[in-house]
Amino acid sequence: MSTKDRTSASGGRAFLPASIHLKDQASRPFVRGGRDRVPSLAQGALMVWVTMLAGLGGVALLNGCSADPARGYSFNSTFDSQVRTISVPIFRNDTYSSGLEVALTEAIITEIQRSTPWRVVGPTHAATTLSGSIDKINMTQLTRQRTTGLIQEQALRVTISFDWVDNRSGQIRVSRREFTSISSFVPHRGAGEPLEVAQASAIRELARDIVAELRADW
């Protein structure tokens, strides 16, 4: 039966073959809110891709920038992978607060083991050496109680110097002077925090900051 015959038999309306009807539907533009919508399966696939791309972007931000600016973000560690081992001898203490040098050295070793790919070894087997000194410790008054005039809060400032040296070439990779950490504590009778609280806090912060300075250039 011809198209004309089918038109007459249906009261003037032509019934086109299914293949022609689908082709015509596919050629229509997508209109938001209209009858023609993206199939639900396609919507699901689109959402999966958007989620994956967002996740990859988040991971890139967490890993940081590449040492080579032309390479953009990097999934590698920001610490130099060419370095395998590091030695950390006990820091020299040029202050009257004994024991801080041991606490600082131990905190640095712990931070290196926690956040870098390097192994801490003895000086004879190390490719690099991190050494330094505690130069100054200062106490600063922050606040006083209004009624008694007693010191309510104090700040402890610890100043150090350190060098990170490549043992193979003798080159100084990182050198810092007047490197400072400040920690506050409350010595008055209500809280009764001892000086050791501030010292421990300053040591932990210094250890984190020192190891962070050993990262490759961004």
Residue 116: name the closest of 64, 62, 80, 87 by CA.
Answer: 80
pLDDT of 175 reads 96
pLDDT at 1 over 60: no
- Identify the H or E element spanning 106: helix 100-115
pLDDT in tens, 7-31: 444 444 444 444 444 444 444 444 4
pLDDT of 51 reads 56
Does one domain contain both 65 and 89? no
User: Phi-psi category of 6—alpha, beta or left, where left has phi over 0 and alpha has psi -120 to 50?
Assistant: alpha
pTM of the model: 0.62
Does one domain contain both 108 and 196? yes
Q: Which of residues 71, 94, 118 is at a domain's end?
A: 71
- CATH number of the domain at 118, please: 3.30.160.150
Does one domain contain both 126 and 201? yes
With respect to residue 76, please indicate whether it lies within any of the assigned structural domains: no
Does one domain contain both 51 and 145? no
Q: Which of residues 14, 41, 71 is at a domain's end?
A: 71
pLDDT of 78 reads 80
Counting the structural domains of the chain, the total is: 2
- How far apart are the C-alpha atoms of 89 and 71, rounded to whole Å? 36
Mean pLDDT of the chain: 73
Q: Which of residues 23, 40, 71 is at a domain's end?
A: 71
pLDDT at 113 over 70: yes
The residue range of the domain holding 44 is 3-71
